[in-house]
Each structure stands twice: as structure tokens, then as C-alpha cells.
Amino acid sequence: MVRVRLVPVIGPADASETTTPNVPEPQAREDSAFLGIKAAHEWLAGRLVVAPACSSVYRVGMDLRIRKAADIDLVPVAELRWSSIVDEKNAVPATERDAFVEAFVEWARAALHECYVAEVAGGIRGMAWVVLTERVPSPRSLARVTADMQGVYVDPLYRGRGIGHRLIAHVVDEATARGAERVVVHSSDLAVPLYERVGFSSSRTLLHL
């Protein structure tokens, strides 16, 4: 059974998600059985081989598509990342915006992290990152994977439409389909209820420094 953990610390997220009549909210996922997707991976020649995700695009109505980011999306994704830190938190950047975007795109192309985007009417309005990390084998399972969700953010102009909920749920489904036995996210205090609606819960045993 997959365990979904949430560690409440300061970090960017879409904290103002609510349901609107024109975008129906998915049925509540209180039963953890929805995460019980069997790990589809093998232990071959001493290394973990992770099976591909079972789906790549999640559609809601005519306007919203949740999908894995393509190379053409990386510039608007970098701009969202800038906005989530500099514009919303009034953080002092270490570089100019254009230089950051260029460096971020270069990093994203080489990173093990995977980015999923919320596309609304052709524009990238939200993002979520996930990285799968191999865990130490145990006698109960040689092939073990943990997923770390990072950098979840929705454009403030597009909040309150359920976009963040659907984006997070899609990334969780993708990670568990690829064998993750646990999905972890570092959340801001305001975003904790959003993650809890998707199925996350806080844990006293998952510690950090």
C-alpha cells in the first residue's frame, strides 16, 4: 500500500483552491486504496528499472489539460517559478529574471526531476515537479522508490478553479503507477488543507533538518 506523507514547512503552493460549479471537483479520495497501484518495476542486474507511467494527459472539460511538460513549456515554467518566489514572496533574487529563466531551462533539461503542467486554454498556468528516488532494499521488497513532489504552483489569476487539486492528484497517480511506495511534499501552512483533500496526511515519524 502506498503511503502519502506531508511535511508542513514553508514552500510555494496553490493554497486557495476551491471548487466552482463549472469545474466539478473529483470525488473525495479518503480511501487510501486508490493509491494501491501495484509497483511496476523490476530488479535487474543490480539496478532499479521503473516502468513508464500509465497515462500522460488528464483532461478536465475543454480548457484544462494536466500533462507532462514538453521542452517548449520550460520557459513559461521557469517564469512561473520566478513568480512563485520573487513576485509572491517578495524574495530578493540572486540574478536577473532573464538570466534565471535561461539557467532554469538548462537545469530542467538535464534534471532527473519531471515536470507536470496545468495548461488552460493553451497557456501554462500551473506546475508540479516530482523526482523518484531509489530506496534501500528490504527483505520485503528489493525494488523500492520514494517520490518527492516539489515546486507546486498555480498562477494566482487561475486559482479557485480546482487546478491545483487536479495537478497534485495527477502527479500522485503518475508516481504511484511507476512504483513509488510513498509520495512526500513540503508544504506551506496555508496549502496543507489542499494536500489533505488530495489524500496527504502529516506524519510525526517523517523528520527533517
CB 54 within 8 A of CB 176: no
C-alpha distances (whole Å) from 10 to each of 6, 105, 151 are 12, 24, 12
pLDDT at residue 14, as a whole number: 45
- Give residue 208's pLDDT band: very low, low, confident or very high (50, 70, 90): confident
- Pick the more confident residue, 137 or 11: 137
Residue ranges with strand state E in the chain: 3-8, 41-44, 47-50, 57-60, 64-68, 114-120, 123-134, 145-154, 180-187, 201-202
pLDDT at residue 59, as a whole number: 66
C-alpha distances (whole Å) from 28 to each of 15, 47, 55, 58, 111 are 18, 37, 21, 17, 33
The phi-psi region of residue 179 (left if phi > 0; otherwise alpha if psi is between -120 and 50; otherwise beta) is left
Q: Quick: pLDDT tens for 18-75.
A: 333 344 443 433 333 333 333 333 332 333 333 344 445 666 664 899 999 999 999 9
Q: What are the structural domains, with CATH classification, of the chain?
A: 3-69+115-202 (3.40.630)
CB 66 within 8 A of CB 57: yes
- Give residue 139's pLDDT band: very low, low, confident or very high (50, 70, 90): very high
Longest CA pairwise span in the chain (Å): 52
pLDDT at residue 53, as a whole number: 45
Q: Which residues pair with 42 in a beta bridge?
A: 49
pLDDT at 15 over 50: no
pLDDT at 7 over 60: no
Where would I find the H helices in the chain? 74-82, 88-89, 97-110, 163-177, 192-198
Span 152-181, mean pLDDT?
A: 96
At 138, the amino acid letter reads S
